[in-house]
Amino acid sequence: MQIKKYAACAVLGMMSFFTANAQDIMPEALPTRPTAERIVKEVAPVSASFQSESAQTVESSVSYNASFGENVVQTALQYLGASYRLGTSGPTVFDCSGFTSYVYRKQNVSILRTSRSQFTQGTPIARISDLKKGDLVFFGGRGNARSVGHVGIVKDVDPSGNNFSFVHASISGVKVSNSSEAYYSRRYIGARRIVQN
């Protein structure tokens, strides 16, 4: 019993020692209660809006039509030649999913930030012949051709229904490529229509 009492005293003594030292060294780190409550009120709405934005996939007020698809493509083509840098999303430098999210945002459609997360959005399009302008197309990455690692925006679909051209931010910059190119034909994984008909 006596040992427990001494142990408790030692712990309390150490706690007061560390508290005193923290107060001496960083008085600004310990706000008064009114200040702390004010900070919480100011931060909470920002945190809530950030969470709702990151969870939001598509603004429901936008629906697909031919002019929407054409607008997506024309917006994408404005950035031909823009440089590539991993982790960037415009307005003059992009990575692949930064480019697609930026172009869609210009059409008032909010999509997730990475190619893998974008592959979970919208409606899957099974056949190349069913693709439309503005659809997102996905490819395997350099390290793993079976795992989504790249995304682009459909520009045109070949009348044969076997190939498509797409605008994307490649390592050499924003450009138009074709799904028939050996590199992309081997890595094509699938497509998504982000906005509904």
> So which residues are the catalytic ones?
96, 150, 168
Residue 144 exposed, middle or buried by CB count within 10 Å (0-12, 13-18, 19+): exposed
Give the residue carrying structure tokens 């395997």.
Answer: 140
Nearest CA among 140, 122, 144 for reference residue 131? 122
Q: Sign (positive/negative) of CA torsion 90, 92, 97, 100?
A: positive
- The strand pairing partners of 192, in sequence order, are 124, 136
Give the residue carrying structure tokens 């990575």.
Answer: 95
Residue 52 exposed, middle or buried by CB count within 10 Å (0-12, 13-18, 19+): exposed
Share of the chain residues as helix, strand and coil, in percent rounded to the nearest 5:
45, 20, 35
Apex CA 189: angle with CA 183 and CA 192, to 5°? 125
Q: What residues contact 86, with CB distance under 8 A and at least 6 apart?
A: 95
- The strand pairing partners of 193, in sequence order, are 123
